[in-house]
Structure 1
Amino acid sequence: MDRHGKGRLMQRIGVFLVGIVVGAAGTLAAKGHDLDLLYLQMNKLRGENNQLQEEIDSLKKDLINKQRQSIRRVRKIEVTVKAPDEFTKLAISKYVKDHTRPLLGQELTYLEAHPTMVKGLIDGRVVSLQNQPYSLRVELVVIGETLSIWVEGIKQPASS
């Protein structure tokens, strides 16, 4: 091969290598742009995912709060007393409220499952007021968020 042939071969190889480099640079530029777009899309999706996760956490907390609120409990105890006078009614009412106070906050499902429990706390008890005994008789119990109890105070003969 002569010099001229060698030079042409080197020139072709050079042009071929420059072509490879230019083609690689073009491909890199095109794919780099695609990678940038994918990176931006990935960051956008991560942000949306974080936002949705926060919403899920917030909804879970709301659900837990709703469930806690939906558990029905005894919130108040009302006592109605039938007795000979107002002082006796007041004293018996206080006695009944004191003995049923542990039921405040109790779940209604528990009381509904044990309906005689309230009556058992009071019925047949004897309360002494000004040295006069009164036997308590539960007439009615209504179980609800307001626990309503109707009691009669029956005057007993005074013991000597």
Structure 2
Amino acid sequence: MTSDPRFGIELYDAPAGPQRIGDATGTLVGHVWSLDAERLAVRDDGRVVLVDPGGRNPLELNRDLPALREFLAAFGRYYAGDRPAAPAPMTKAEARERLAALQRGDAAPAVPAPTPVPRETRLAALRAELAAADEKALAAGSWWSRVLDEVAARR
């Protein structure tokens, strides 16, 4: 199961069988927060929708499942910028050299910290990635547009 804790979205490894999704049929592919809450389904036409536990009131999320996965990955990259950047990995030779210097009592040279990417830059990149993946999913009033508005409003 693939999950995204920021949105509570869990995608199943093996989709559940076909069921009625509003006025169409589809396959359950995940849920939001818990099994008895909203569910994610792929309709027969390929669109991903969010439905209530009874399979009613479909709200379109993405044009297809790969687009939904791209959205989740793009948000993951955006939120990764919230954390400090990991130090650059060292080669074995560099590690040996630094260890030898420490054993000799030499001070280790300062490792420059990576320059953080400003939030506005990350937000612009997120918007571009989402639009490239499924621009229609960002239409005014859509589920994703509201999520994006909330992300943009946080400081």
TM-score w.r.t. the length of structure 1 is 0.23
TM-score w.r.t. the length of structure 2 is 0.24
Q: Higher Cα Rg: structure 1 or 2?
A: 1
| Structure of greater relative contact order (alpha carbons < 8 Å, 6+ residues apart) | 1
Determine which structure has the larger helix proportion and give its number.
1
